[in-house]
Amino acid sequence: MDVSIVVPLLNEEESLDELIRRIDQAMSGQWEHEVILVDDGSTDGSWGKICELSENHAHIHGIRFRRNYGKSPALQQGFRKARGRYIATMDADLQDDPAEVPQMISMIRERNLDLVSGWKKERHDPISKTIPSRFFNYVTSFTTGIRLHDFNCGLKVYRSEVVKHITLYGELHRYIPYLAKEQGFNRIDEKVVKHHPREFGTSKFGLNRFIRGFLDLVTLLFLDKYMKRPMHFFGGIGTLFLIVGGGITVYLSIMRLFFDMYLTGRPLFLFGMLFMLLGIQLFAIGFLGEMFNQNRFRTQGDPVNIRATTGFGNVQEKHAQQTEKGGKQHE
Q: pLDDT tens-digit profile of 227-250?
A: 777 888 888 898 999 999 989 888
User: In terms of residue numbers, what domain contains 121?
Assistant: 3-226
Domain membership flag for residue 120: yes
Verify that 263 and 145 share a domain, yes or no: no
Q: Compute the distance between CA of residue 204 and CA of residue 215 in angstroms, rounded to an integer.
A: 19
Q: Give me the CATH number covering residue 163.
A: 3.90.550.10
The pLDDT of residue 55 is 95
Verify that 235 and 200 share a domain, yes or no: no
The residue among 151, 117, 155 whose CA lies nearest residue 23 is: 155
Domain membership flag for residue 293: yes
The residue among 174, 163, 186 whose CA lies nearest residue 213 is: 174
Verify that 255 and 209 share a domain, yes or no: no
Q: Is 263 helix (H, G, I), strand (E, B) or coil?
A: coil
Of 226, 242, 260, the residue that ends a domain is 226
Verify that 188 and 277 share a domain, yes or no: no
Verify that 272 and 175 share a domain, yes or no: no
Domain membership flag for residue 313: no
Verify that 139 and 275 share a domain, yes or no: no
Verify that 32 and 118 share a domain, yes or no: yes
User: CA torsion 122→123→124→129, rounded to 10°?
Assistant: -150
Condensed to tens digits (0 to 9), the pLDDT of residues 66-120 reads: 999 999 999 999 999 999 999 999 999 999 999 999 999 999 999 999 999 999 9
Verify that 270 and 150 share a domain, yes or no: no
Domain membership flag for residue 329: no
Domain membership flag for residue 211: yes
Domain membership flag for residue 322: no
Condensed to tens digits (0 to 9), the pLDDT of residues 250-259 reads: 888 888 788 7
Verify that 211 and 248 share a domain, yes or no: no
Total structural domains within the chain: 2
Verify that 95 and 155 share a domain, yes or no: yes
Verify that 154 and 234 share a domain, yes or no: no
Verify that 234 and 221 share a domain, yes or no: no
Condensed to tens digits (0 to 9), the pLDDT of residues 138-175 reads: 888 988 889 999 998 999 999 999 999 898 887 889 89
Residue 288 has pLDDT above 60, yes or no: yes
Domain membership flag for residue 42: yes
Domain membership flag for residue 33: yes
